[in-house]
Amino acid sequence: ATRITDETATLAAPPEMKARLLANENPFGPSEKAKKAMQEALPNSYQYPFMYSQQLKQKIATHEGIDAKQVLLDAGSSPLLLAAAMHFAKNGGSIITGDPSYDDLPEKARKFKANIVEVPLTADYKLDLEAMEKKIDGNTSLVYICNPNNPTGTVLDTAKLKAFCERASKKVPVFIDEAYIDYVDDPQGTTLIDLVKKGNNIIVARTFSKLYGFAGLRVGYVVAQPDMIDTLSIYSSGAFSISAPSIQAALVSYQDKEYMNNTLQKTAASKKFLYETLKKEGYEYIPSSTNFVMFPIKMDGKRFTDEMMKRGVGVRFWKFADQDWCRISIGRMDEMQAFADAFKVLA
């Protein structure tokens, strides 16, 4: 797959952009409680946030039924993906990943001289666990699984994934990136933290950037065995990288069911509108378990995104399976309407 790393488009997103649907952010967040907590935290933000970071770790550990020693916080999950990339690239280790999948960890690892083994998705655009398992050999240092998968929005069957991870993690560590897990129907029944609890050599990454709407606030964590947390800590400054207001906002947001349900409802309504728009124009899409949708386009991807951007709508494109695709993040209804207006003209 070709990932179009159009950082300039993301960074240069003009303020007059009507619909920012290119980075899988959540425009319904952060919650009112989170914003209030940050304002109240400001006067004391001359203090280091030790106490609050310990509280957040404990809150997560209590909710998941694990020990606080099994949680490593950082400023979003990206620094923890980097920590894993650095560690598992050592000695030219080989990392198995899907294609296309979220390529941040593999691409960073490649820069540290890791060998990256990319395994194409199945015909229904899911990670091909069987094929990935066959690729595990003596050089493999890590298997990276993004579930739900970015950019396809597909989620794996939990029982199959668990069985795969139980077998694979006896040979090599498995890294499960659950950035979008909060959007699936039953996050608690889908998370692989369950297998970490049972002692498996599995690293689960989570972020506040998606459902909690914290992409600009930067809070994320991994859950793993205590010795793996110690290992990854070599490459991470941990919670020390997160600002006190962000940690305090995370403390009031974590598992705030009212906010979460409200946001999920709004996301579902916008997604339904998008599906209807695509159907009306004669387009198919990959059914999504996340806050973004991938659909095949009928023109060159670059031309499509450029034309959309001219109309104030920011989306991204991919090329895989001999096809150009658009990935559109789910935004507010006014943003989905702006997309629909522009799309009607272009489609």
Q: Is 177 in the site for ligand PLP (CB under 6 A)?
A: yes
Sign (positive/negative) of CA torsion 14, 20, 21, 24? positive
User: What's the chain's length in residues?
Assistant: 347
Q: Is 215 in the site for ligand PLP (CB under 6 A)?
A: yes
How many other β-carbons are positioned within 10 Å of the β-carbon of residue 214? 24
The per-residue b/e assignment along 215-240, b for 16 or more CB within 10 angstroms, e otherwise, is: bebbbbbbbbbeebbebbeeebebbe
Rounded to whole angstroms, the maximal C-alpha distance in the chain is 56
- Closest distance between ligand PLP and the C-beta of residue 64, in Å? 18
Q: Is 102 in the site for ligand PLP (CB under 6 A)?
A: yes
d(CA 236, CA 82): 9
Which residues ranging from 181 to 210 are in contact with ligand PLP (CB under 6 A)? 207, 209
Given 27, 29, 30, 76, the residue binding ligand PLP (CB under 6 A)? 76
User: Which ranges of the chain does DSSP label H, i.e. alpha helix?
Assistant: 7-11, 32-41, 50-64, 78-89, 104-111, 129-135, 158-168, 187-190, 193-197, 226-233, 244-253, 257-280, 301-310, 333-346
Total of chain residues touching ligand PLP, rule CB under 6 A:
13
Site string for ligand PLP, 135-174 (x = CB under 6 A): -----------x---x------------------------
Instruction: Specify the residue, 106 or 340, whose C-beta has the smaller distance to ligand PLP.
Output: 106
Is residue 133 packed enough to be buried (19+ CB in 10 Å), middle (13-18) or exposed (0-12)?
A: middle
- Closest distance between ligand PLP and the C-beta of residue 177, in Å? 5
Instruction: Specify the residue, 215 or 326, whose C-beta has the smaller distance to ligand PLP.
Output: 215
- Closest distance between ligand PLP and the C-beta of residue 148, in Å? 8
Instruction: Specify the residue, 216 or 226, whose C-beta has the smaller distance to ligand PLP.
Output: 216
Q: Is 176 in the site for ligand PLP (CB under 6 A)?
A: no
Using N-to-C axis directions, what is the helix angle for 244-253 and 32-41, rounded to 10°? Answer: 150
How many other β-carbons are positioned within 10 Å of the β-carbon of residue 306? 12
- Closest distance between ligand PLP and the C-beta of residue 186, in Å? 19
- Residue 267's nearest CA partner among 259, 256, 277, 278 is 259
d(CA 182, CA 202): 19
Tokens 């920012």 correspond to: 20
3-state secondary structure of 126: coil
- Closest distance between ligand PLP and the C-beta of residue 202, in Å? 16
Q: Is 290 in the site for ligand PLP (CB under 6 A)?
A: no
Segment interacting with ligand PLP, rule: CB under 6 A, options 34-42, 71-79, 83-91, 110-118: 71-79
Q: Is 109 in the site for ligand PLP (CB under 6 A)?
A: no
- Closest distance between ligand PLP and the C-beta of residue 101, in Å? 8
Q: Is 77 in the site for ligand PLP (CB under 6 A)?
A: yes
Instruction: Specify the residue, 152 or 207, whose C-beta has the smaller distance to ligand PLP.
Output: 207
- Residue 145's nearest CA partner among 133, 134, 137 is 133
Q: Is 24 in the site for ligand PLP (CB under 6 A)?
A: yes
Q: Is 220 in the site for ligand PLP (CB under 6 A)?
A: yes
Enumerate binding residues for ligand PLP (CB under 6 A).
Answer: 24, 76-78, 102, 146, 150, 177, 179, 207, 209, 215, 220
